[in-house]
Amino acid sequence: MKILVVGSGGREHAIVWAVSRYGHRVYCAPGNAGIARLAECVDIEPLNIPALVNFARRQKIDLTIVGPEAPLVAGLADELEKQGLKVFGPKSAAAQLEGDKSFAKRLMLRYRIPTAQFEVFDDYERAIRFLTGRRLPVVIKASGLAGGKGVEIARSFEQAQQVLSGYMREDRLGAAGRTVVIEEYLTGEEVSIIGLCDGKRVRFMIPSQDHKRLLDNDEGPNTGGMGAYAPVPVVTEEVFRQIVERVFEPLLKCFAQEGIDYRGAIYAGLMLTDDGPKVLEFNCRLGDPEAQAILPLFEGDFAEVCRQCAEGGLSGQDADIPPADRWALCVVLASKGYPGSYEKGLPISGEVEDGENLLVFHAGTRMENGRLVTSGGRVLAVTGLGRSLPEARQRAYYGVGRIHFPGMQYRHDIGFRGLRHISEG
Ligand code: AMP
Ligand code: GLY
């Protein structure tokens, strides 16, 4: 097939890697320096929908695989389909599951999908009255897309007030923050369950676990994700069964009853609480950096499964069985200052190359005068593979040790929860 991958991060590099292994011809818009080694990069931004549709039509692209959420929410899949082009990624109405948190929460309530208790507000004064005298912490979420910056855990009334004022009165996140969801604070271990959906059925990928906080021991600010590993020991067969029964079965029923034609990746960010799994969020795409851990474990032709989803005819197994002896662990290398502002254009040196049981995915990189330089907050994602979690971890950090750029920061403890589970048996 001729495949167009949309996006420019580590997730998209992992998608391009998985697709090109099966001999498909791959284009990527806009791509990055690592992707350019495997695919023909096309200089079109993911939100330039007319240009993407034009390109796909002219090049007779067989399937477009959309990486990030923003173009999906903006209607890229709708426009491609109007031209008779196949696309893996939901249409705008279905992508609202990620694009509009208040919509997602209301659907979860209606279909009894377990999630934190919540209220929705579009009036600042009402939100403040609701919070007065309430037990803390609470979680305050901008309803719209905020690129991972729209969730705050408020531990004091003053902090809650500041966050609400920033979102709702000062428009810190623009339109995305004018409506907020205030929800109950949940505790437990977080896991990412990603399914490939053809509208009616889901094929589950291997469970993975992200590390959202910037610093070791889950300290520091939230980020897009600093590392991931798969499979996840805490997701036992029994836990997985609960997740399917309580979350995905009602979700598919919801799609059917609400007329939501969902074709693409569906990502449930879950908290495993003492009362069972609860949904923190749905995303309409693969996770980043989860994709860099789970795609190297994917058995078979990923593009072919995406095509089946796009056509509404998913066949084969319901779930990818976590292999007993194949593990992946991915460490993200970020720029100094990330997730705040950071410098770009810094030279990357060392061995930025795949090796034995080692994959180096590019995220924010580009070539400048023949040199590889940084061009984003998350710069590279180094994935180690192994027969055990400790082995995968060892490979990943070995790979990290070969790479350098000024101000490079990364977490040293990716996989710690999994390792703890394993050592506690
Ligand atoms: P979200 O974008 O909704 O996944 O939120 C980002 C991060 O905030 C999650 O990965 C969690 O670590 C945290 N979070 C979100 N909702 C809650 C909640 N209700 N209770 C505790 N932590 C939460
Ligand atoms: N890694 C979290 C996300 O992709 O949303």
Domain locations in the chain as residue ranges: 2-91, 117-184, 189-311, 327-424
What distance in angstroms lies between residue 153's CA and the mean position of ligand 1's atoms?
Answer: 8
CATH number attached to the domain at 2-91: 3.40.50.20
- Res 323: pLDDT: 77
Quick one: pLDDT band at residue 324, thresholds 50, 70, 90?
confident
Q: What three-state secondary structure class fits 154?
A: strand
Which element (helix H / strand E) includes 292? helix 290-294
Given a cut of 90, whether residue 149 has pLDDT beyond it is: no
- Res 321: pLDDT: 78
What are the structure tokens assigned to 121, written together? 């507000």
Residue range 228-233: mean pLDDT, rounded: 97
pLDDT in tens, 346-394: 999 999 999 999 999 999 999 999 999 999 999 999 999 999 999 999 9
List all residues 6 or more positions away from 142 whose beta carbon is below 8 Å from its beta carbon.
Answer: 101, 150, 151, 167, 173, 176, 177, 179, 180
What distance in angstroms lies between residue 91's CA and the mean position of ligand 2's atoms?
Answer: 20
Cβ neighbour number for residue 190 with a 10 Å cutoff: 18
What distance in angstroms lies between residue 44's CA and the mean position of ligand 1's atoms?
Answer: 32
> Which residue type does 271 have?
M
CATH level 3 topology of 327-424: Glycinamide Ribonucleotide Synthetase; Chain A, domain 4 (3.90.600)
> Which residue type does 323 have?
P
Domain 117-184 has CATH 3.30.1490.20: yes
Tell me which residues have their CB closer than 6 angstroms to ligand 1: 116, 139, 141, 151, 183-186, 190, 212, 222, 269, 280-281
What are the structure tokens assigned to 110, written together? 């209606």
Whose tokens are 């950096």? That residue is: 289
Do 2-91 and 327-424 have matching folds?
A: no
pLDDT in tens, 159-209: 999 999 999 999 999 999 999 999 999 999 999 999 999 999 999 999 999
> Model's pTM, two decimal places?
0.97
- Measure CA of the first residue to CA of the last residue in the chain; give whole Å: 45
What distance in angstroms lies between residue 280's CA and the mean position of ligand 1's atoms?
Answer: 6
Ligand 2 lined by 210 (C-beta under 6 Å): yes
Q: Which CATH number fits domain 189-311: 1.10.760.10, 3.40.50.12160, 3.40.50.2300, 3.30.470.20?
A: 3.30.470.20
Of the ligands numbered here, which is closest to the C-alpha atom of 286? 2
Residue range 29-42: mean pLDDT, rounded: 98
- Res 75: pLDDT: 98
